[in-house]
Amino acid sequence: MQRTIFLINGPNLNLLGTRKVEVYGTTTLAELVAMVEAEAALHGFALTAVQSNHEGGLVDAIHAARAGGFGIVINPGAYSHTSVAIRDAIEGVALPTIEVHLSNIYAREPFRRHSFVSEVARGVITGLGPVGYLLAVRALATLGDVR
């Protein structure tokens, strides 16, 4: 059976391509998902992509990854900075999880500098735009080698 990477995007990321393009760029969510899917396929993975504007929906998506998920690539959006529930869900499913942010959260407002998710993530990629998602897939694919 083909291994599956779960791509989970949080609140407001459905607006990609039109929202604050000077920060988040012009790539739409559909384009981003297609890019990540192609990268996953290169490494022999299927992709399941979910976007939700709701904290509970994101928790459900993380739990769903237990069924056959090899790993998770997640951009929790603003919930990174507030959600103990999302942090606990990631810890609970115990799948390797890479946290991605399009923008550099350390170069913006002070409230973005702390992420509850980072402490349970296998790794964090921030500030590289869409390529960060591709690097996250690549990292998951080679996790056995990078320690």
Catalytic residues: 24, 101
Q: Give the residue with the Cβ less far from ligand DQA, 112 or 138.
A: 112
- Closest distance to ligand DQA from the beta carbon of 86 (Å): 12
| Residue indicated by tokens 């990854």 | 65
Nearer to ligand DQA (CB atom), residue 46 or residue 123: 123
CA 61, CA 75: separation in Å to the nearest integer? 12
Mark out the alpha helices in 17-54 (DSSP H runs). Answer: 21-24, 29-42
Least distance (Å) between residue 117 CB and ligand DQA = 10
Measured between alpha carbons, how far is 93 from 77 in angstroms, rounded to an integer?
A: 20
Q: From CA 35, how far away is CA 28, in angstroms rounded?
A: 11
Smaller CB separation from ligand DQA, 41 or 107: 107
Strand partners, 99: 74, 124
Q: CB of residue 29 vs ligand DQA: minimum separation in angstroms?
A: 11
Name the residues that contact ligand DQA, by CB under 6 A: 12, 75, 77-78, 80, 101-103, 105, 112
